[in-house]
Amino acid sequence: MLYLKTDEEVALLRESNMLVSRTLAEIARLIKPGVTTLYLDKVAETFIRDNGGIPAFKGYGGFPNTLCTSVNDEVVHGIPSGYALKEGDIVSVDCGVILNGWYGDSAYTFPVGTIDEITKRLLSFTRESLEAGVLEAVAGKRIGDISWAVQQKAESGGFSVVRELVGHGLGKRLHEPPEVPNYGRRGTGPKMEKGLVICIEPMINMGKKETMQMRDGWTIRTVDGMPSAHFEYAVAIDKGKADVLTTFEFIEEVLNKM
pLDDT tens digits, residue range 38-56? 999 999 999 999 999 999 9
- Whether 258 has a pLDDT exceeding 90, the answer reads no
pLDDT tens digits, residue range 204-220? 999 999 999 999 999 99
pLDDT tens digits, residue range 173-192? 999 999 999 999 999 999 99
Dihedral, CA atoms, 155, 234, 171, 101, nearest 10 degrees?
Answer: 140
Residue 121, by phi and psi: left (phi above 0), alpha (psi -120 to 50) or beta? Answer: alpha
Q: Which residues of 112-149 are buried (b: 16+ CB within 10 A; e: fewer)?
A: beebeeebebbbebbbbbbbbbbebbbbebbbbbbbbb
Mean pLDDT, to the nearest integer, of 112-134?
Answer: 98
Q: Give the chain's mean pLDDT.
A: 98
- Percentage of the chain beyond pLDDT 70 is 100
CA 150 distance to own-chain centroid: 14
Position 61 scores a pLDDT of: 97
- Whether 74 has a pLDDT exceeding 90, the answer reads yes
Position 246 scores a pLDDT of: 97
The C-alpha atoms of residue 46 and residue 245 are separated, in whole angstroms, by 23
Report yes or no: 73 and 162 within 8 Å, Cβ to Cβ.
no
The C-alpha atoms of residue 98 and residue 105 are separated, in whole angstroms, by 9
To the question of pTM greater than 0.95 for the whole model, the response is yes
For domain 7-257, the question of CATH label 3.90.230.10 is answered with yes
Amino acid identity, position 44: A
- Percentage of the chain beyond pLDDT 90 is 99
Question: Running DSSP on this structure, what letter comes out for residue 1?
Answer: -
What are the beta bridge partners of residue 55? Answer: 97
Domains of the chain, by residue range, sit at: 7-257
The C-alpha atoms of residue 9 and residue 31 are separated, in whole angstroms, by 33
47 class by beta-carbon count within 10 Å (0-12 exposed, 13-18 middle, 19+ buried): buried
pLDDT tens digits, residue range 144-178? 999 999 999 999 999 999 999 999 999 999 999 99
DSSP 106-119: EEEEEE-SS--HHH
Position 123 scores a pLDDT of: 98
The DSSP H or E segment spanning 234 is: strand 233-236
